Amino acid sequence: MKIGLVGYQGSGKSTLFEWLTGIRPDPALAHAAQSAMAAVPDARVEPLCRIYQPKKVTLASLELVDTAGLSRTHEGNAVKLGLIREAGALVVVVNAFSAQANPIADLNTFEEDLLLADLSIVSGRVDKLKDSTRKPRPNRDQELAELAALEPLSAVLESGQPLTSIQMSDDQMKATRSFRLLTEKPKLIILNIADDNTTPDDLLKKVPAGSRAVAVPVGLELELERMKADERAAFKAEMGIAAFDRDGLLRTILEVSDQMLYFTAGEKEVRTWMLRKGGTALEAAANVHSDLARGFIRAETMSCPDLIRLGSEREIKAAGLMRQEPKDYILRDGDILNIKFSV
Ligand SMILES: Nc1nc2c(ncn2[C@@H]2O[C@H](COP(=O)(O)OP(=O)(O)O)[C@@H](O)[C@H]2O)c(=O)[nH]1
Ligand SMILES: [Mg+2]
């Protein structure tokens, strides 16, 4: 799952990227998109490891993409935003740390930039269809249907509303799928606050409704991350600061992107995997290996809290908590799967 870090120049995107991935973006490539993986920690992994004593532990990762910052003059922004169309979710970083910053105004104009980029794509297609459907032609009915689907969307965007604000019809989803529109993507807003800001709630309250928002002193977090453990502890005690929960932020990004975690577990490996919420056992199997999906018979399934509470698979079976699930079983966060398949 790709997560686009977006925002204006100097808002702290690259600083956030380094804090979350441990990799410093190359400043020479600042005009392009740079990506790195960030493993998503999970508190259930450790107790599972106590049960299985695996040789190996592997965590599911998010691919974070640091992007070129938009310019406040809107110039060239549509092209830069084109680079993040692949992303499944956006993390919008806003400068709330410098004295002259106006984070709420930035949030609003940034949303406008996303709207304008989407509008230019949708209205461009609408204009083209209006033109081509004027005369009789072989696939005119199809084009008229596409036009009927797209015109209301163009109106929504023109009125300044993101596409997440409406329920799209199947036709509309089909007509827009290839556009990978930006205002359709789930978003997390990060207010990048100053190190000494102790009242971020005042600002968080002003964030327009509709998106989840958190306040993080990103610059300070990166500084803390770079320190050695003892140095960090001393610094935090001296300054009276509590570090922000990096693991929790990664979990929040995962949740906002509409993903969940499931597990495979054995003596060889305990591993977490990512799946869209609402995903099926068959999709989960395909994630692990295409063979498992092709020869899928059933998924032996137990829930992580049950296993941790009871302490062994034997106890799970004795308690009747090992389920045999079919292909179309809808996974729940924390399911542990053992896919039975034929070759
Ligand atoms: N004081 C302070 N400075 C920050 C913070 N985050 C980023 N900066 C500074 O702002 C500048 C731009 O940050 P950068 O991450 O490169 O922004 P980008 O253009 O969005 O990638 C750099 O000089 C950072 O050191 C912060 O939380 N506090
Ligand atoms: Mg940058």
- What spacing in Å lies between the alpha carbon of 97 and ligand 1's midpoint? 9
Q: In what order do the strands lie in the sheet with 296-303?
A: 56-58, 269-276, 259-265, 335-341, 296-303, 323-325
Residue 341: beta bridge partners?
296
Burial class from Cβ neighbours inside 10 Å (0-12, 13-18, 19+) for residue 303 reads middle
- In whole angstroms, give the CA distance from residue 161 to residue 78: 18
The label of the residue with tokens 């005009």 reads 31
The label of the residue with tokens 């389920």 reads 323
**120 CB near ligand 1 (under 6 Å):** no
Nearest protein Cα to ligand 1, atom 13: 12
- What spacing in Å lies between the alpha carbon of 13 and ligand 1's midpoint? 7
**11 CB near ligand 1 (under 6 Å):** yes
Angle at Cα 338 formed by Cα 256 and Cα 42, nearest 5°? Answer: 35
- What spacing in Å lies between the alpha carbon of 134 and ligand 1's midpoint? 52
CA 98 to ligand 1: nearest atom: 1
Q: What type of residue is 155? A: A
- In whole angstroms, give the CA distance from residue 104 to residue 92: 12
Helix (H) or strand (E) run with residue 110 in it? helix 103-132
Residue 302: beta bridge partners?
336
- In whole angstroms, give the CA distance from residue 20 to residue 102: 25
Ligand nearest to the CA of 11: 1
CA atoms within 13 A on the CB side of 276: 11
Query: Judging by DSSP bridges, how do beta strands 89-96 and 187-193 pair with one another?
Result: parallel
Ligand nearest to the CA of 192: 1
Token reading at 297: 């018979």
- In whole angstroms, give the CA distance from residue 336 to residue 37: 23
Per-residue tens of pLDDT for the chain, all 343 residues: 899 999 999 999 999 999 999 999 988 887 788 999 999 999 999 999 999 999 999 999 999 999 988 888 777 787 788 878 889 999 999 999 999 999 999 999 999 899 999 999 999 999 999 999 998 888 899 999 999 999 999 999 999 898 988 999 999 999 999 999 999 999 999 999 998 888 889 999 999 888 899 999 999 999 998 888 888 888 888 877 777 788 999 999 999 999 999 999 999 999 999 999 999 999 999 999 999 999 999 999 999 999 999 999 999 999 999 999 999 999 999 999 999 999 8
Fold of the domain built from segment(s) 278-341: Ubiquitin-like (UB roll) (3.10.20)
